[in-house]
Amino acid sequence: MLTCPNCGHEFADHRPILTKRQHQVLQYLRQYRTDFGYMPTLAEMAADLGLSAQSGVFEHLSFLEAKGYLRRTGPHGRRAIQLIG
């Protein structure tokens, strides 16, 4: 079992450790899904995370996907994000 140094969340696999900002984005996605029952759009994420452009959100999502923390379920889906684990 691996433990996230940022929040203490335990993972059964060996996914790479996240940067502090990547961890914040992942926690934001988890909380948003809990609160609303679906994932935010890129525009909602940019506004909520204080990013000036959606390209910053896209970059964070790409890193999280490459590290195995999420999967995008459609090429152009507005809310096409699935959390893994």
- Residue-level pLDDT at 24: 95
Identify the pLDDT of residue 51.
94
Domain ranges of the chain: 18-83
pLDDT at residue 60 in the model:
94
Q: CA triplet 64, 78, 47: central angle to 5 degrees?
A: 70
pLDDT of residue 2: 59
> What are the 10-residue block averages of pLDDT along the chain, 85 residues in total?
62 74 95 95 95 93 93 79 88
CATH 3.40.640.10 fits 18-83, yes or no: no
> What is residue 62's predicted lDDT score, i.e. its pLDDT?
93
Cβ atoms 22, 60 nearer than 8 A = yes
**What pLDDT shows up at residue 78?**
72
- Give pLDDT, residue 73: 85
